[in-house]
Amino acid sequence: MTALLIRGGHLIDPAAGVDGLKDILLKDGRVAEIAGPGKLKQANGAAGPDVQVIDATGLTIAPGLIDMHVHLREPGQGYKETIATGTAAAAAGGFTSVAAMPNTRPVNDSPEITRWMQAPERGASIRVFPIAAATRGSKGEAINDFAALKSAGAVAVSDDGLPILKDAVMRETLAAAARVGLSVIQHAEDTRMTQGASMNAGPIAFRLGLRGWPNEAESSIVERDIRLVQELRDSRAHLHVAHISTAVALAAVRQARRNGLRVTCEVAPHHFLLSEEHVGLYNTNAKMCPPLRASADRDAMIEAIFDGVVDAIATDHAPHAVHEKEVEFENAPNGITGLETALGLSLRWLHKEGKLPLGRILSLLSAQPAALLNLKGRGTLAAGSFADVVIFDPKAEWTYNARATRSKSRNTPFDGWAMQGKVRWTISEGRIAYADE
């Protein structure tokens, strides 16, 4: 394998505590060496005909981004997305790893499907880490064999899209996952309170004549799950709350953390940037689950990102075909795409507007999700780590055009939005997965 030398850029590697001008040598899929400008040792192979040089002058170099919550739709729904197209979109967005949710057709509840998703034949541009279903068929009844799923490559368990409602099943899931060292990711929605709901409960839902999704449907499950983690505290059970969206659920997570429990959470860009008002006049690209919330909840997400209660920014990338979203609002499927817009939105709004340091944002998009999923050698560019790198122009401003997406789908409310920070190269295990033309 040829070596890659990235020269002249500004390396930000929060996990390694690096923030300065560095040259980086990538070899055999790993980070071979990092040194000050022009200081790489020739003996390490930093020169020669088989060294490809990337001039990163004026650019930021960071550990490749990690999205711990995506839907790649394979197996079973290749018309929405394939592993190849979804990871191509991910690479364009600066991601080098994605964790793929198991609500495929069939549900990924077996080592066979877990391995199938990672097979080279899928044509992934970057690394795909399957999250396996917690229960058989994600029906919330019988728990899967977590040890077998883990050895097949699963990095966590979840019934995402559906909650595990039964207390006994959730408790057993947390305990069994802890025994094999996996996290449990919960889609917190008490579906008994959300029958027929298609947007956030409140005055806007009333005015639009839509049935509402109350905050309690999320917070009651989060509170129940935290209680179970408390009861299991000796087992080191880890609960991760997916796509948290309400201030009241965040408060529960905050309190659980103060009590020393292993409870973490992620927030999606649409939940810290948009509110229920963006549903407008039945815009189906503003329909997702959990729904866009009241602006007070949106503000609480931002606050929790700043004060560190949020552990990761995750997109919940959920592609749907155009015809599926061109229907009555109540009949439209939930979800929006997000892989190509997460970095640009985070830099535009959290960094430029909110003054959150670049390193904090990169950590939320890389080092922290790597730690949550226990992805060894990722989320950092320390020597010996995987050569997963994103190189971007932090000052570049651009406009997102959904029609130019690499995803198969373009169901996004961020079409035409201003972005900050343009990805120039994405390198996955030493191989260029994306290069900006």
- Binding residues (CB under 8 A) for another protein: these are 195-196, 202-203, 206-211, 247, 250-251, 254-255, 272-274, 277-283, 286, 299-300, 302-303, 306-307, 323, 326-331, 349-350, 353-354, 417
Whichever of 95 and 417 has its CB closer to another protein, that residue is 417
The position carrying tokens 């959990």 is 290
Handedness of CA 65, 333, 78, 437 (dihedral sign): negative
Nearest residue (CB) to another protein, 118 versus 246 = 246
Cβ atoms of 8 and 21 within 8 Å: the answer is: yes
Minimum distance from residue 86 beta carbon to another protein (Å): 26
Contact 46, 5 (CB under 8 A): yes
Among all chains, which residue has been given the structure tokens 């549900």? 107
CB closer to another protein, 108 vs 245? 245
Nearest CB to another protein, comparing residues 110 and 412: 412
Q: Tell me, rounded to whole angstroms, the distance of Cα 8 from its chain centroid.
A: 29
- Min CB(184)–another protein separation in Å: 25
Given a contact cutoff of 8 angstroms between Cβ atoms, the answer to whether 61 and 11 are in contact is: yes
Cβ neighbours around 168 below 10 Å, total: 9
Helix runs in 61-188, H state only: 83-92, 111-118, 146-151, 167-180
Q: How far apart are CA 415 and CA 285, in angstroms?
A: 10
Rounded to whole angstroms, the Cα distance separating 312 from 316 reads 12
Query: Which one, 111 or 421, has the nearer CB to another protein?
Result: 421
Q: How far apart are the first and last CA of the chain?
A: 24
Using alpha carbons, select from 195, 198, 259 the residue that is nearest to residue 223: 259
Reply yes or no on whether 316 is catalytic: yes
CA-CA-CA-CA torsion sign (165, 169, 175, 178): negative
CB of 226 to another protein, least distance (A): 15
Query: 282 or 398: whose CB is closer to another protein?
Result: 282
At which residue do the structure tokens 């409960």 appear? Answer: 201
Q: How far is the CB of 251 from another protein (least distance, A)?
A: 5
Strand 51-55 with 60-63, pairing: unpaired
Q: Which residues have CB under 8 Å from 103's CB, separation 6+?
A: 71, 133, 138, 159, 160, 161, 162
Burial profile 309-321: b = 16 or more Cβ within 10 angstroms, e = fewer: bbbbbbbbbbbbb
- Cα–Cα distances (Å) from 256 to 238, 263, 302, in that order, read 12, 7, 19
- 278 vs 431 by CB, closer to another protein: 278
Give the residues across from 390 on adjacent strands.
62, 426
Q: Whose Cβ is closer to another protein: residue 36's or residue 203's? A: 203
CA–CA separation, 62 vs 186, rounded Å?
29
| Per annotation, catalytic residue among 316, 388, 415, 436 | 316
Catalytically annotated residues: 316
